[in-house]
Amino acid sequence: MGSCLLQLMTGLVFLVLFLGFAGPLHATTAPQATEHDALFEALKNAPNEAEAQLIENNIWMAWLDAAPTAKIRSKLDTAMQRRGQYDFQGARELLDEVVNDAPDFAEGWNQRAFVFFLQGNYEASLEDIERTLALEPRHFGALSGRAMIYMTMGRVQLGQDSLREAVKIHPYLKERNMLIEPKGLDL
């Protein structure tokens, strides 16, 4: 169990560092639906982890760039910066505005779910994760986050199921190492 907690914390640190780093970057346009589909197809078929990481970065940028207005994107970026500075309350207040002003923006819900997780409010985080997944069913970050929460709550099988969903989308997902191999019968 101690090693599982260590892996959980390591994954969490990675997410904080990655999302904090990726947040302020801006691309000029979000990919069209077919380009978005192509990114997910490329991710699923990536030949190695390095290639998958590059594709993953492009998907994260597409999710961030899907903000419906520059004002929403600015609030999201500021919230992510605050989160990176451990100002979780300040980040959450901004993200409350983001999800109120742009309820169809999946990444707003995902980022607020992450802040709720960091605040230890797992139920609220799970609610926002469900909203994220309703808007973007392929959101491997939300699926992975849901897995972390379930496993933290001792609901290991639900966590493993969610993590397996995420790995089907992103075979090189960092958290894949947290999967427990199913026990079977040797015949």
pTM for the whole thing? 0.80
pLDDT in tens, 26-37: 333 444 578 889
**pLDDT higher than threshold 60 for residue 171:** yes
Are the C-beta atoms of 82 and 91 separated by less than 8 Å? yes
> What's the whole-number mean pLDDT along residues 31-55?
90
Are the C-beta atoms of 151 and 135 separated by less than 8 Å? no
pLDDT more than 90, % of the chain: 75
Handedness of CA 130, 117, 120, 104 (dihedral sign): negative
**pLDDT higher than threshold 70 for residue 162:** yes
pLDDT in tens, 58-107: 999 999 999 999 999 999 999 999 999 999 999 999 999 999 999 999 99
